[in-house]
Amino acid sequence: MSYKIPMGPYHPALEEPYKLDLICEGETVIDAQLHIGFNFRGIEHLAETRNYIQVIALMERVCGICSNIHTLTLCNAMEGLTGLTPPPRAQYIRVIMAELERLHSHVLWAGIAAKLMGFKTMFMTCFELREKVMDVLQAISGNRVNYSMNRIGGVNRDITDPQSILRLVEALELEMGRTVIPIFTTSRTARSRCAGIGVLTTEKAVALGVVGPVARASGLPQDLRRAAPYAAYTEMDFDVPVQPAGDVTARLLVRALEIMESCKILRQALSKLPPGEIATEGEKFVFTTGTATARVEAPRGEVMYSVSWKEGSRNPARVHVRTPTFAVMPAIRWMVKGARLADTPLIQASIDPCYSCTDR
């Protein structure tokens, strides 16, 4: 006899409000139903009432963790409608901010995952490292959240002392390689809680169209920084970590390895930061009539913006966002099938869901 157990919309294991109805037989989950829509804010509609400066500030608030990525993607799309190209120094600064935000997101997720495993000492270690990443972001932008770095045609703030930022990044990389990755990869606690749990096969990952670390943990080597480079990623040397197992351990390893790759990219970008202006100056932006799209590899995977404009208008006619969580969240149903009820909080957390982005 089966029975239904609701998890959410408000639950200690959920970062944000959504709901999983778990259909169980005994302690085994045989199916699940996902419900969203608890946090709708109408941001896309509000974007139609804001001018091209205000809309950047608005879309930065779609997500508190990936705020910079949202404005980067939006500005890429609007630059397609204005014909502006940011100068090389601005493109490098965009890469630096994007990779620091990736570090912040992955370390934050690692801490939450450790907490759900019952690994509280690791939780505290990850959040201590998170503070160091936020210190670097604050040193560059003046803000710990919502950095206000991107603008049409470039960035708002320069990096005046790249060597000091580089020293902070190198210290962070040393700590990651010495503490976080060895513990997560060798700890008996982590392996016993994660190995073989929440498996998403390569075939199912392709069928569901998952993106980001979830796809790479199921054996799909997709990364827009490599497949469709933007900003200064064509000038960066880095690897795309891929794991074939498709379980929680694989998703953990992919993010841990991506942390090291982000540090590698940051070293290159800070060391080779070209001189010059940080923005293409202009008295007035001229938007052409039409629609432009932009795709960027956010910490959780591909985020896509579609921006429509009418010539002569200061406001966009339409701003549509497709977030990576929207693409990945249907996979939770297949991950929890056959799993133990006690493992479902960790399995759903392993996709690093952001329902604030999805419900915007």
Predicted confidence (pLDDT) per residue in 59-90, tens digit: 998 888 888 999 999 999 999 999 899 999 99
- Give domain status of residue 17, yes or no: no
Q: 291 - beta bridge partners? A: 308
Q: Is 7 within the bounds of a domain?
A: no
Q: Could you tell me the pTM of the whole model?
A: 0.92
Q: For residue 341, is it within any domain? A: no
Could you tell me the CA-to-CA distances from 59 to 331, 337, 347 in Å, in that order?
26, 35, 29
In a domain, 97, yes or no: yes
Could you count the other beta carbons within 10 Å of the beta carbon of residue 255? 26
Q: For the chain, what is the domain count?
A: 1
Domain residues for 110? 40-335
Residue 120 lies in a domain: yes
Instruction: Answer yes or no: is 146 within a domain.
Output: yes
Distance CA(11)–CA(13), nearest Å, equals 5
**Which residues 6+ apart lie within 8 Å of 250 measured at CB?**
217, 218, 243, 244
Q: Does some domain include residue 12?
A: no
- Nearest Cα to 279, choosing from 147, 117, 87, 144? 87
Give the confidence band of 357 by pLDDT, cuts at 50, 70, 90: confident
Q: How far apart are CA 221 and CA 211, in angstroms?
A: 10
**Range scoring the smallest mean pLDDT among 64-78, 117-131, 197-211:** 117-131
- 55: domain CATH number? 1.10.645.10
What is residue 186's predicted lDDT score, i.e. its pLDDT?
79
